[in-house]
Amino acid sequence: MQLTKSALRVSLESIALGALMSVASPTIAQAQDAPRTREGAPRVESPAQPTTEAAAPEFNYSVSIPTIQAVDSNVDEETIRSILTGGLVEHAAELAGLTAKSITIPEITVTYAVPAEGGKQQQGTLTYRDIALTDVTNGVAASAVVGGADADAGPEGKFTLGKMSTGLFDLAGMLAFYGLVPGASPDQPLKTIYKDFKMEGGSFTGPEANCTIGPVTTAEFKARPLKTSFGELMTMAQSLEASGDSELKPEQITTLVTFYADLFSAFESTPIDFAGLDCTGTSEEGKPVTVAVGPMAIGGFAKNTYPEISASDIKINVEGDGYLNLGKFVFKSFDFSSAINALQEADGQVDDAWFETNGRRLIPSFGGFSFSGLDMDVPDEESDGQRIKASIGDFDLTLANYVNGVPADISSSAKNIVIGLPADSEEDSVKQLLALGIDKIEAGYDLAAAWDEGSNTIAVKTFAINGANLGALALAGTLGNATPDIFSLDNNAALMAAMGLTAKDLKINVTDAGLADIVFQSMAKEQGQSVEQVRNALSGVAGGTALALLGGTPEAQKLSAALATFITGQAKSLSISAAAKNEAGLGLPELTALQANPMALSSQVTVDATAQ
């Protein structure tokens, strides 16, 4: 595990600005000991010549606040200016206890310079306008407003945000969350940090793209102090940087993972709504590009959970080249409970050996994803001159019941998959389909399987595929002796458990909706026979094989007749079921023996078949 010098590097001043202006989601803080100019900005000094590795370039900035109006405030204007220009740590307690009728700041300008590639500095400014806190009592404001914000990165582009506002805004609670002032116990319930956040939208203008950004709203954000503060985390990062070590020590790994384990239960929010965005630009080839995303919704953050995210009306178009449209996309939630439980069970004893053994336990429970209304027409990068034209009505992947990082319940489906087949394709498989008169594929599938710990079985509820005007195939079955060891963290134990699985039952349903006619007509043409002759010949082979494997039993005769009826076209659906006579199912030894002696099948399974 490696930690770079910039991995945890964010200034404390950004917290102050965020607390008094953006009033949005929390940001990570770090104290810096760099010397300061009169404006309170860190000053970059020429480093000593390195002996092995060049020192990382530093971020240089200054903050300008021409005017501060503090009405009936217990914190004077100079202290507020100091808080916003570098003295947050020194004055955190005063900010947390702020009481005032109003605090108004017409403008704050942050000028920065970032070393870029080639040694040239990239300069820019951030400007926040019309900041106001009203009716503040003991660090809790009745409302907070930022009239707007601009970011000018010079040739890289300009970013503008509209008015941002909240109802209640608890500065003291946010500072306690960061660990900058004493706050409530981490074991106490979360408290409201802000309510009714609104951002009226914005825009971005750059050399290659221009975007319009829609409004953002959320009703409430709650948090509590962390067990390991951001300050402690920053101290660890500074210690690592000073030591020159490239890898974390065991105690540092423990601090880091403990921090993240606590963080996931330290805040929650109501759902966040985003109206979407529209962008225009140019491709690398100079072609006009448009990108649009309609309404987006981010579910509420909750304990140990990263919420579901959905977006609608996604459209990407490259003029004269292609397009991709998506009606809706849903990225389902993550549940980190199992990972956090594993870390808590470790009780601080976390090192490389622990990760080697328990790595899979840290995999979060991911719910899957889904989308609908996919329509695309894009160039095929692997075949010059060819295009990929496809559409999918609906797709879903659902994962649940995770055991040691593996989903024990899986379901997936897709409907109305339409893929056009290029007439001049060089692919053999495509040529074969075209030869059969199939110029596009219209299909779908459905899959569902679940492990049941009580019965030690895996039920394959369905594995079905279908094609419009072609037919459908559906399989279902049960695997036995599926003990919890199949999910073991010990790979050898999991392999042995998998080899011990048994086949208990299987059911096959086949429906012909036109594919058989296409196939048999092609075969008849190749063999110089009629379709009826080909069907009769194949039905005889299939029926004879069933009798040979199962003998002359009533079951065998029923299967033979059903196969003949279906293959000759007298029936359009065929259903075959088989069940092991041994309640435990057929294991690998029995299946291996049947491969060597298929005639023994009748003594191992019962078979039923119908054709309609």
Question: Under a CB-based contact definition with an 8 Å cutoff, are residues 161 and 137 in contact?
Answer: no
- Dmax over Cα atoms in the chain, in whole Å? 101
Which of 307, 319, 413 has the alpha carbon at shortest distance from 370?
Answer: 413
Q: Any idea what the Cα angle at residue 572 is, between residues 566 and 577, rounded to 5°? A: 65
Asked which of 14-23, 284-293, 324-333 is least confident by mean pLDDT, the reply is 14-23
The pLDDT of residue 433 is 79
Classify strands 216-223 and 272-274 as parallel, antiparallel or unpaired: antiparallel
Q: What percent of the chain has pLDDT over 90?
A: 61
In three-state secondary structure terms, 539 is helix
Say whether pLDDT at 58 is over 70.
no
> What are 278-307's pLDDT values in tens digits?
999 998 888 999 999 999 999 999 999 999
pLDDT value of residue 7:
36
With helix as H, strand as E and coil as C, how does 42-94 read? Answer: ECCCCCCCCCCCCCCCCCEEEEECCCCEEECCCCCHHHHHHHHCCCHHHHHHH
pLDDT of 257 above 80: no
- The model's pLDDT over 490-518, given as tens digits with 9 standing for 90+, comes to 999 999 999 999 999 999 999 999 988 88
DSSP H helical ranges for 361-461: 428-435
What is the pLDDT at residue 229?
81
Record the tokens describing residue 105, joined without a space.
Answer: 């700041």
Contact (CB, 8 A) for 467 and 438: no
What's the pLDDT score for residue 15?
41
What number is the average pLDDT over the span 460-471? 94
Per-residue pLDDT for 131 more than 80?
yes
Q: DSSP letter at 489?
A: S
Q: Which residue has the higher pLDDT, 408 or 355?
A: 408
pLDDT band of residue 200 (cuts 50, 70, 90) is very high
Beta strands in 153-300 (DSSP E): 158-161, 164-166, 169-170, 191-199, 202-205, 209-213, 216-223, 267-269, 272-274, 277-282, 288-293, 296-298
* Whether the predicted model's global pTM rises above the 0.95 cut: no
Residue 540 or 434, more confident: 540
pLDDT in tens, 372-427: 999 999 998 877 778 889 999 999 999 999 999 999 999 999 999 998 888 877 77
With a cut of 50, say whether residue 18 has pLDDT above it: no
pLDDT band at 457 (very low <50, low <70, confident <90, very high): very high
Question: Do 510 and 499 meet the contact criterion of CB atoms below 8 Å apart?
Answer: no
CA angle 328, 279, 384 (to 5 degrees): 75
Radius of gyration of the chain (CA): 33
pLDDT of residue 61: 83
pLDDT in tens, 523-581: 888 899 999 999 999 999 998 988 888 888 899 999 999 999 999 999 999 999 999 99
Share of the chain above pLDDT 70, in %: 89
Average pLDDT, the chain: 86
Amino acid letter at 480? Answer: G
**Greater pLDDT, 339 or 117:** 339
Residue for token pair 């069933």: 546
DSSP H helices in 401-507: 428-435, 491-499
Q: Which residues contact 18 (CB under 8 A, 6 or more apart)?
A: 24, 26, 27
Which of 565-568's residues contact partners 24+ apart within 8 Å by CB, and which partners? 565/611, 566/510, 566/512, 566/611, 567/516, 567/535, 567/538, 567/539, 567/542, 568/532, 568/535, 568/536, 568/539
Secondary structure element (H or E) that encloses residue 508, with its range: strand 502-512
